[in-house]
Amino acid sequence: MRLPFLRTKSAALGAGPRIPSWATPLVEEGSSYAGQVQAAFLANPVAARAIRMVTESAGGAPVVSTPGDHPALALLHSCGFGASGPGLLETLAGHMLLHGNAYIDVAVGADGLPAALFALRPERVSIEVDGEGWPAAHVYRAGTAVRRYPVGANGGLLHIRSFHPTDDHHGAGCLGAAASAVAVHNAATRWNKALLDNAARPSGALVYQPGDGSTLSPDQFQRLKTEMEAAFAGAANAGRPMLLEGGLSWQALSLSPAEMDYAGMREAAARDIALALGVPPLLLGMKGDNTYANYREANVALWRLTLLPLLTRLLTALAAHLNWWWPGLVLKLNRDAVPALSEDRERLWAQVSAADFLDPAEKRRILGLEDGQ
Give the mean model confidence (pLDDT) for residues 238-255: 62
Which carries the bigger pLDDT value, residue 210 or residue 218?
Answer: 218
| In the predicted structure, residue 371 carries a pLDDT above the cut 80 | no
Digit-coded pLDDT (tens) for 331-369 = 999 988 888 888 877 788 888 888 888 888 887 887 777
Q: CA distances (Å), 77 to each of 74, 81, 107, 287, 328, in order? A: 6, 12, 15, 35, 21
Tell me whether the omega of the peptide bond preceding residue 218 falls within 30 degrees of 0, making it cis. no
Task: Write down the domain spans for the chain.
Answer: 1-200+275-333, 342-373
With beta carbons less than 8 A apart as the criterion, state whether 212 and 247 touch: no
- Distance (Å, whole) CA 310 – CA 157: 20
Query: What does the chain come to in residues?
Result: 373
| In the predicted structure, residue 266 carries a pLDDT above the cut 80 | yes
45-59 vs 88-98: helix axis angle to the nearest 10? 140
Give the mean model confidence (pLDDT) for residues 184-195: 82
pLDDT of residue 201: 57
| In the predicted structure, residue 109 carries a pLDDT above the cut 80 | yes
Which carries the bigger pLDDT value, residue 69 or residue 248?
Answer: 69
Question: For a pLDDT cut of 70, what percent of the chain falls above it?
Answer: 73
Digit-coded pLDDT (tens) for 125-178 = 999 998 888 889 999 999 899 999 998 777 779 999 999 999 889 999 998 899
pLDDT of residue 159: 94
Give the mean model confidence (pLDDT) for residues 79-95: 79
pLDDT of residue 12: 38
pLDDT of residue 361: 84
At residue 242 the predicted structure's pLDDT band, cuts being 50, 70 and 90, is: low
pLDDT of residue 247: 66
Give residues with Cβ within 8 angstroms of 5, minimum separation 6. Answer: none
The pTM score is 0.75
Digit-coded pLDDT (tens) for 313-335 = 999 999 999 999 999 999 999 98
What is the residue-averaged pLDDT of the chain? Answer: 79
Give the mean model confidence (pLDDT) for residues 187-211: 70
Going by their DSSP bridges, the two strands 145-150 and 330-333 should be labelled as unpaired
Which carries the bigger pLDDT value, residue 133 or residue 239?
Answer: 133
What sign does the dihedral 303-306-307-309 (CA atoms) show?
positive
Question: For a pLDDT cut of 90, what percent of the chain falls above it?
Answer: 37
Question: Counting beta carbons within 10 angstroms of the beta carbon of residue 100, is it exposed (0 to 12), middle (13 to 18) or buried (19 or more)?
Answer: buried
- Of the candidates 313, 318, 334, 321, which has an alpha carbon nearest to the alpha carbon of residue 64? 334
